[in-house]
Amino acid sequence: MYNIHTHTFTLDAVPDRFLPFGLVRLLAKPRLSRRMVRWLRCLIPWSDMDVFDRYAAFLSTGSATRQSDIFLKLREQYPPDTKFVVLPMDMEYMGAGKVRQPYWNQVAELEQLHGNFPNQVIPFVAADPRRPDIVQHVKRCIEAHGFRGVKIYPPLGYAPYCRVLLQVFDFCQAAGVPVIAHCSRGGVYSRTMSRDECLQRTMPTNWAGVLRSFPQLKLCLAHFGGDAEFRKYTEARDSWTLDILELMQQYENVYADVSYVAANEWSHDTIKDLCSDPVTRDRVLFGTDYYMVQAAQKSEADYRFRLLQVLGPEAFARIADINPKRYLGEPD
């Protein structure tokens, strides 16, 4: 099976003002991080779904010294032949201060992780259009270093239709390289603009013009619009999820993953319906957003098995095996 949406970056890749009071640098030290996790969990001990537990889960994993440590925690919760798409985060331009580990080092470490687990780690490269020579960097990673796809994160402060990214998409369409884009109201935001401005850059309708120019681009809109928008869709209201479905109707290579949103059991019946719809059944992808999803689930295994129980083995195999292979361009 495949998990199409995971992360292994450490707190060293997070800007020092991402959290207030210098907490990022303090929590990057494992000994201090363990103490902070215990403190956070003691604040509201009767709940494992509150904001403190979310920070605790994030810090407990992110404070690892190496990406391989985070990956091994993920890997042990899956069958031994599972493959994982690993998505880096380039947060150096979000206006939240410096990062201890430059983005280039994060990429090099991810390449090494792929080298250590070549049959399981499928690395993508982050493409922030503000980074110098990003088009050449993407091509180099794909053509010479074993990377398989491109990650776009618009709420960090850029729109998918900017000139530099159009050059990236031109390359991706020609080479059959898949793109995955953050498409949720949640997540990380630029500190150089308002949240509303960040959301304007994240809306799925921004991709309409891109897809008109590159109609064969393999594009996954992650999180299916996110929790709030997916809830609106289940209530038959206008939503980002509905906008994504309209793009899927128009373009055969538009996909969406259920990472994070599937952590909510109320979403499972709607996901099941999408897995049987003739338009979407071949383009729904399984993902969890590890290690972010620890905020909402006890474990990856729990996330997986609860979704499997609702979908059944045939539909689950489609979103966790058949569809990811098509999206990644792997033989069936």
CA dist 211 to 62, 154, 155, 169, Å? 35, 16, 19, 10
Count of domains observed in the chain: 1
Which segments of the chain does DSSP mark as H helices, in order?
Answer: 23-27, 30-43, 51-62, 67-75, 103-116, 134-144, 163-175, 195-202, 207-213, 227-234, 240-250, 268-274, 300-311, 313-317, 323-328
User: Running DSSP on this structure, what letter comes out for residue 283?
Assistant: S
Q: Give the pLDDT of residue 320.
A: 98
Question: How much is the mean pLDDT over the chain?
Answer: 89
Q: What pLDDT shows up at residue 47?
A: 41
- Give the pLDDT of residue 60: 62
Q: Tell me if 193 sits within 8 A of 240, measured CB to CB.
A: no
Tokens of 141: 């990673």
Side chain identity at 6, as an amino acid letter?
A: T
pLDDT tens across 227-272, in order?
A: 999 999 999 999 999 999 999 999 999 999 999 999 889 999 999 9
Output the six-digit token pair for 297: 């689930």
pTM of the model: 0.90
Q: Say if residue 68's pLDDT is above 90.
A: yes
pLDDT digit string, tens, across residues 134-168 = 999 999 999 999 999 999 999 999 999 999 999 99
Looking up residue 287, the CATH number of its domain turns out to be 3.20.20.140
The string of pLDDT tens digits covering residues 191-209 is 999 999 999 999 999 999 9
Decide the pairing of beta strands 2-6 and 219-225. Answer: unpaired
Q: At what angle do helices 240-250 and 227-234 cross, to 10 degrees?
A: 80
Phi, psi of 106, deg, nearest 5:
-60, -45
The range of the structural domain enclosing residue 39 comes to 2-328
Distance of CA 74 to the CA centre of its chain: 15
Joined tokens for residue 120: 């399981």
Higher pLDDT, 26 or 218: 218
Q: Kindly report, residue by residue over 88-131, the tens digit of the pLDDT.
A: 999 999 998 999 889 999 999 999 999 999 999 999 999 999 99
